[in-house]
Structure 1
């Protein structure tokens, strides 16, 4: 809608304004001025009466503005300006992106200099809605303003208000819904099975962020999580837990037994009772009844059924006993067979059986030895016989022996067998042999032989290759016992001192002949953030020393940081100054604010995190010269920033009402209200006196002068009241705050 009227405040849906025209779309309102301004004045106008110069958000908004705004040959200022060489939306202080740019052909800066502000073509014959950059001081354009529609808490505590062209909308926080985000989302109502539940509902029963905890009675255990939370997707964080009876290990009837169980809460679960019994012929060993407890264990030990036992049988002298046991050694059902050793014959029953009464059938048998023929000593040997059961009977043994240095070839002894013959063939004597020797690994062998290779009297010498040392005897001799006089030596790789990884580094070794021995190679490396100082690799030499010196890992260095202008720098160093792991914090002096990261850290790449931080002076509202007056400002740190001072003066015929000088404080406010210029009433009084002195109008003049003097007194009284309002104290240093809103209310 469009509206014109007397000067006043513009509300949503109603616009009353003589110095400008308002255009409203839904809940977002646009405004433009009737007068033409420089860019800075245009922005002051928008900030004074509305929000700011319009910020173009999308092509739809551009099309709407071009379609709705009236044609103006000098076009309209919009809220984008070049700051520090970058086109920036002044309302949001965000840089213009390449994708959002809407420049006309050949723009921006087709004149190459002093074009830092932007106008929008409206209803232009060509390139309507496009942008053109112009000098900011060019007073030829109307101010195009906007006023935001979103109000605090319009979307409640759980939503954010978002401006759109046709309206505004509420974007709800996760877990909330509704036009005003007033409702928390609902999760399914929980009904746990067999479990105790305790819930807290900050936004309503079983709604978003509700939390429920669960526990089970004694003898039961929880299946699932102990706590659930209602999530923003209307689902619980995990499945609802259940309580199931604690189970004991499943019982089974032992062998030859029976099991009878009763279950209250499930098979072999808490409260189950099981009774055991044995089959006939067996006896129960252990408790008869067992119960499953809350601990998941059974009371007592599991019993077993043991078969009835008979007395243990033993084999007859010179005989053997062979038993088969069904239920255990010498128990009911066991059978035992008797036999005699070779050379003996059985006298008595062959078999016995264990009865159910625990006794054996039959009597114990005996074994009698048989006889062999006489034999004789071998040539060059000796014979020595022993007789156990009688001369040359079964079991008689005859031993053979040879002279020292020789070994018996053939059986060392012969025995009378059960077939009435002697074991083995005729024996003979041969020189003793020792095991064949071989050179140790990485070594050499040199031998001399007297009676044949590796026989009695042979001598062998040992040596090692370069890089190895001999562990054991240097030589050994084959003895009459057929063994070497000493153990075979070994060639062991020469060892180097054990290496360790450098501090903040790692060690990776490969060993050919053993840890840190001849031929071993070790590679060094450093952890991220450190660099190796020294050789990368070492090798163990044949002398038992390592090649090269021990390396070290040194922290990687970053560039030296300095405090920003008007700021301070505070650093902490883990290793050395400005190396890996160092952290530097930035802060600003009073009256300045930090632009950039508050903290930077030296990374393993040798670079600092983040960009360079700066201290920028705090800004105060822009001041304008009073009507019929002048403004003169000095800026220490930038236009209308901390410590800027502004002085005021009035044109001839006007008197300054208010403070003569204002200063921008560290809080971003001016120390006083700006003054105003009032018409000088002394000149008016002079005219009255001239008028009343005229003799021709003396009588009438007296009446008129009295009236005018009364009017003059009233004017002076009003001026004094306004002076008190605008200048509550005369001291420039006295406290005071100036805002655009306060200034507007005095005009």
Structure 2
């Protein structure tokens, strides 16, 4: 029998164990012991697992497993509330959201309606739900149009439009009064009398209206001899003023665009117009004489080696040197001796400017034609008005912006504000009724 001092003592191995995890907002169930310990973590409703250290887990998980290894859990986790994020317009259109308490599970966000929208419904709050989505709104923001405005010179054809609170997309129909037509339609072959206004998504009514028809311009020979109540527009009356007031005559513009009568020249007029002066490189041919009603024909005096020029009427103070590309002068075919014994247009306002080259719209940007007077070369100087979208310069004599896209109707220039030097009008001399 062996001596007790020589015998071996059998002792169990000491294994490292993991402490029981304590987590807020979670249920923890553990099994096994020591290195075999395993714990199942289940986050409460509205909370998800967040890994602080160790092996990662898929996003937005409520449940995970922990394993003990050498006395430490394979991951350190916590349960954090679901975050719904700030609500966007897709939740409530036209709303402005406020979330002072945060955007996590159980928190509420309130909303107000941005002007001009108004709140429709019982509750102005959303709640962040356990799935990370906001609760379905119990109210919404509605945009309505107020009572439709009455465009001048028109009649409302839709009686229900007299009240306020019109839904977006609704229409109100109108008819222009006699002598008036839908704005912009007078240039068509058949002008329109009827139009409708739509309630737009901004809560405002579409803008359009009626404009008066105009009568033909009165003969130039009467220039300066008459006054009109409203130019040449419908219902305007023009009165011819003679030295003998018994000869004064009044005519009015009708709803059909015609005058009620014609002017006849005052009797016993004495005198004639003086010979027109050759000013601003313009000379005149007066084969009809200088009496009232006679016409003289202007032509530009240029050297043989210079380009062709056209006589045009410019606004007082504008010259051929100060004429800007956006100004649209009127070519003068003739001047007429009026009953006031004055030439119209006034020869002092007639200047010579370069004629348009006959190559507009040929695909080449011609600097001579790149101006309003020549229809901006038929669109040849702007990519957006060319089918090829590529501008090809004609010649190499470009100074300053002569080769740039100047056409105000081109896409490149539609969003630009009018330049500070555009306040001078069209550049044409005034020639309407006096």
Which of the pair is proportionally richer in strand? 1
TM-score, length of structure 1 as denominator length: 0.20
Structure having greater relative contact order (Cα 8 Å, sep ≥ 6): 2
TM-score, length of structure 2 as denominator length: 0.31
Q: Which has the larger radius of gyration?
A: 1
